[in-house]
Structure 1
Amino acid sequence: MSLLGCTKSGFILCIGLSIILLAITNINQLDNWLTVEEEIKECGFYPGELCKALFEGKPAALVVGNICQEALPPPREEGAVILQSNCSTLITNLHFITKPMSIEEVDYPLAYIVTIHKQLDMFIKLLTAIYTPQNVYCIHVDQKSPKTYSKAVRKLTSCFGNVFIASQLETVVYAGFSRLGADINCMQDLVHSDIPWRHVINLCGQDFPMKTNREIVQYLKSKWNGRNLTPGVIQPLHMKYRTQVTYKEFVHMGMSYVYPTKEAKSGPPHNITLYFGTAYYALTREFVEFVLTDQRAKDLLEWSKDTYSPDEHYWVTLNRMKDVPGSTPEAGWEGNIRAVKWRDQEGISHSGCSGHYVRDICVYGLGDLHWLINSPHLFANKFDPRRYGVVTDCLERHFRLRVLKGAEVPVEQSWCFQDEYSIKTSH
């Protein structure tokens, strides 16, 4: 696990530059920024006041943050580290939390489906953040992933009794049925889990949590108790192209994509009304069992195999059927599943992306931290620690601090991201 921001020499450089920059931009803020408040105890040797300033949206922090970003050392080859380490060392050095943080969380275990294909360092950050021993985690590794990547993931997951690789793996194509198939494969494994999980949440490898496990449990219990969370609406006219003709997946020589054919597609089975929504969800165990056994669900799945991005209509369509377990027939876009900055939402739901766009989705930069930290969503997408390492490191340590501050059990030293044991609880 890399330390945040800069090495010691880089840290000193950043602080020195920040003094000059702040004197020019706003001399009145200098003392407030450079003084680390006594009540804020950070895990990790890194410029915590820089992260704090970024979270508060201070302009000068963006300049200093970019300088620190440039001073970051190249990412370690995490795969080699994992393959050369035993499980005990990995769990300690990667700061996995090994005990439930509260009785409330023990009483409401969750299941996770995590689909990954690249950036092992980001997957490690994600798994370290969401891991807790009472939950269960199904990891789907894309068949296209390099062998060393897959081997490292298998080694890491083998260290936990509640984390496993999906028994059936897909070659995932963006916007293809294979993406939906990956989730279905994990669900078929999860329904046989001995862990009595209540909701399943799906993630991808470039997600990161905005809420702690306890906060997620409380959100699902209070607002979506016994119900499925699938934001969406009746299929809009401008999305009908996705299901009017058939689509095929192409995978060859490292290239993969979905393309339309000239073959017209018949309407959905059982006169089902199609909805359109997010591919992200929180589903009850009863709903998952319905999906895997009900004939209507099976027929819709089969019909969806040659559509475009079927995961954006499949879950929300089934969840709008009145007789389905945990259904929400009258629901719309409500539900804080994922914070995403879409390019076409600039000036509407956000003021812009300070990182860069990939497929019209913002990869968060330093200037997005203020927006993220104030988001009501459970998770955010998407992150790239190799391009914006200060962003993920600031969030990672801020998130861990919140988790540990809410612990109802004694905090262990290895759960912190530093050698100094600085977190105290009332127990």
Structure 2
Amino acid sequence: MNPAKLSVLFCAAVSAFVCLCIYLLSKAKKPVARGWSFDCARCGDYPDELCSALFDGKAVAAVLGAQCEQVHRERPGFGAGLPVNCSRLLADHSYITKPLSQEEADFPLAYILVVHKNLQTLEWLFRAIYMPQNVYCIHVDQKAPAGFRQAVEGLAACFDNVFLASRTESVVYGGFSRLQADLNCMQDLVLSSVPWKYALNLCGQDYPLKSNRELVQLLKQRWKDKNITPGILQPDHIKQRTTHVHREYISPAESYVVKTETRKAGGVPHGLKLYFGSAYYAVTREFVDFVLKDERAKDLLQWSRDTYSPDEHYWVTLNRISDAPGADPSAEWEGSVRSIKWLDQATVAHNGCKGHYVRNICVYGLGDLEWLVQRDSLFANKFEVDNRPLVAQCMERWLRRKTLSQSEVPIPQEWHIKNNKCFFDIEGNDCSTTSM
């Protein structure tokens, strides 16, 4: 075939593709299949059929969903600093207010949330993990805007089992301050009257892939008083994090950690072998007591102050000490605490990011939903509700349906996720709501 004919065929193919895209988008507010009708202008009105199609990986659903997300992305969320109407919050956002089973009531969990931005995303995560028998410590970064902190305080004030950390840090990504923030919450949690069994730490852009009951059963039956701190002996390419002195720098414009040319003096305290692993964990209450009181834990903490990302060696190293409560000295990467799509693992460990990358971590898009619900991890990271509202809506519906299906108590109507609701209105503005 000569070049002229090839050019004509290529142009025709491109034109056909463009026309198809225009046609699909033009149908975004019209029925495209029996029972499907989308009006993207309505407040938070995402049909279950669309979410189901996204979970099934249907391409047309992603096209329609992207159109709806663009409409809702332009809608402002609630303003930081405005007073929270607690009764409206609980009613409109379908908070579960009683334990769903005796098994869960007898096995309360403690959560540590380290947050600094994205109020909508935080509240979306919080209502997903909230159960009245659990206890929650929220650490708000000292650098966070005053309005953000006030709004989080207002959220916490609506619940007897939620509080802000009594001591806060200016958290720097990769710095010691991130580790210290967790420890500050641990110090508060051990004083709580809630008899929690495990502590789990989260950041504000996580979301659970397990219901509360699934978490409880996993920790009781599979881990049986063992800690989950995935990791391995420190690889060679990571050792510079702990062989050289690192410094945190904080300015109004940015915060960062710098590696210096100075080598750290002395070895690791008590001859401990350093491990490298996840900064996120599920650890027993007895292990938390060990972390706060044992001299080896205290000395390792002090030694780690000028290392890079010490939370990626601290928990995993302590959990390999044979006499630490719940320790597993021979553990490696067992226990999938987080599902993350790292940029350098695309096409190797996952099918690529369908949203966008931030610091080499995927912010999930519509095309990632099918992958997410197939994961066996406890949580996934990372989400941005303001930029990806349909992702948030579908994940919330999927998790709540699973959670309520496992309940052993009668389910009030208000625990069901509501349709046609203003997704992020917690100030008390009226909004039409009907349960799904």
Between 1:368-377 and 1:399-408, the stretch displaced more is 399-408
Give the distance between the partners of 2:26 and 2:225, measured in 1 at CA.
Answer: 52
The residue identity in structure 1 corresponding to 2:286 is E
Question: Which residue in 2 is equivalent to 1:344?
Answer: 344
CA offsets 1:3-48 (integer angstroms, 9 cap, x no match): xxxxxxxx996252x62xxxxxxxxxx45x849xxxxxxxx84221
SS of the residue corresponding to residue 72 of structure 1 reads helix
Distance 1:348 1:267 in 2: 36
- Residue 251 of structure 2 corresponds to 252
Question: In the alignment, which residue of structure 1 is the partner of 2:332?
Answer: 332
Match of 1:385 in 2: 385
One-letter identity of the residue aligned with 2:140: V
Kindly report which structure 2 residues correspond to 1:402-413, keeping only aligned pairs within 5 A, or say none.
Answer: 402-413=402-413
Residue matched to 1:282? 282
Distance 1:272 1:46 in 2: 53
Shift of residue 90, structure 1, vs aligned partner = 2.1
Measure the CA separation in 2 of the matches of 1:90 and 1:50. Answer: 26
State the partner residue of 1:264. Answer: 263
Task: Give distance in 2, aligned partners of 1:342 and 1:146.
Answer: 29
Match of 2:150 in 1: 151
Q: Summarize the Cα distance change of 1:75–1:45 in structure 2 as closer, same or farther, 3 Å threshold.
A: closer
In the other structure, the counterpart of 2:102 is: 103
TM-score, structure 1 normalization: 0.88
Structure number, greater radius of gyration: 2
Distance between the aligned counterparts of 2:342 and 2:160, measured in 1? 37
Letter in 1 for 2:198: H
Inter-partner Cα distance in structure 2 for 1:244 and 1:124: 39
**Residue 124 of structure 2: aligned partner:** 125
Aligned residue in 2 for 1:14: 28
Partner of 2:302: 302
Structure 1 residue 94, shift from structure 2 partner? 2.4
| CA distance in 2 between partners of 1:146 and 1:355 (Å) | 27
Supply the distance in 2 between the matched residues of 1:315 and 1:342 (Cα, whole angstroms): 22
Aligned to 1:38: none
* Counterpart Cα distance in 2 of 1:79 and 1:318: 41
C-alpha contact (below 8 Å) 2:46/2:393 kept by paired residues:
no
CA distance in 2, matches of 1:245, 1:198: 37
Deviation, structure 1 residue 214: 0.4
Pairwise CA distance, 1:89? 2.3
Taking only the aligned residue pairs, the percentage that are identical comes to 54
**Residues 1:282 and 1:252: Cα distance change in structure 2 (over 3 Å):** same
Partner Cα separation in structure 2 for residue 420 and residue 388 of structure 1: 23
The 1-side partners of 2:192 and 2:363 are apart by 34
- Residue of structure 2 equivalent to 1:163: 162
> Is 1:224 aligned with 2:223?
yes
Question: Aligned letter for 1:78?
Answer: F
Q: Give the whole-Å Cα distance in 2 for the aligned partners of 1:166 and 1:280.
A: 18
Pairwise mapping of residues 49-60 of structure 1 onto structure 2 (< 5 A)? 49-60=49-60
Q: Which runs of 5+ in 1 are unaligned?
A: 1-10, 20-29, 36-43, 423-427
Q: Specify the alignment match of 1:293 in structure 2.
A: 293
Sort the Cα spacing of 1:379 and 1:263 in 2 relative to 1 into closer, same or farther, 3 A.
same
Shift of 1:305: 0.4
> Within 5 A, what are the aligned runs for 1:224-243?
224-243=223-242
Give 3-state SS (helix, strand or coil) of 2:61's partner: helix
Shift of residue 349 of structure 1? 1.4
Following the alignment from structure 1 to structure 2, what is the Cα–Cα distance between the partners of residues 73 and 308? 36
CA contact (8 A) 2:210 2:378 kept: yes
Secondary structure, aligned partner of 2:171: coil
- For residue 354 of structure 1, what is the aligned residue in structure 2? 354
| Partner SS state of residue 259, structure 2 | strand
**2:135 aligned residue:** 136
Rounded Cα–Cα distance in structure 2 between residues aligned with 1:273 and 1:256? 30
Q: Structure 1 stretch 228-237 or stretch 252-261: which is displaced more?
A: 252-261
1:73 is displaced (CA, Å) by: 5.3
Describe the superposition over 1:158-203 as per-residue Cα deviations: whole angstroms up to 9, x where unpaired: 1111000000000000000000000000000001111110100000
Q: Which residue identity does 1:103 align to in structure 2? A: Q
Alpha-carbon separation, structure 1, partners of 2:82 and 2:296: 44
Distance 2:278 2:336 in 1: 11
Question: Post-superposition shift, 1:74?
Answer: 3.0
* Distance in 2 separating the partners of 1:337 and 1:262: 34
- Letter matched to residue 305 of structure 1: R
Q: Deviations over 1:228-275 (max 9, x none)?
A: 000000000010010010000000123100001111013211111000
For 1:150 and 1:13, locate their aligned partners in 2 and report how far apart those are by CA, in whole Å. 42
What is the CA RMSD across the aligned residues, in angstroms?
1.9
Shift of 1:413: 2.3
Q: 2:273 & 2:231 partners in 1: Cα distance? A: 13
Gaps of 5+ in 2: 1-24, 38-43, 419-432
Aligned residues: 392
| 2:322 paired with 1:322 | yes
Matching residue of 2:172? 173
In 2, Cα distance between the equivalents of 1:305 and 1:149?
Answer: 28
- Quickly say closer, same or farther: Cα 1:75–1:146, change in 2 above 3 A: farther
Quick one: distance in 2 between partners of 1:160 and 1:387?
A: 28
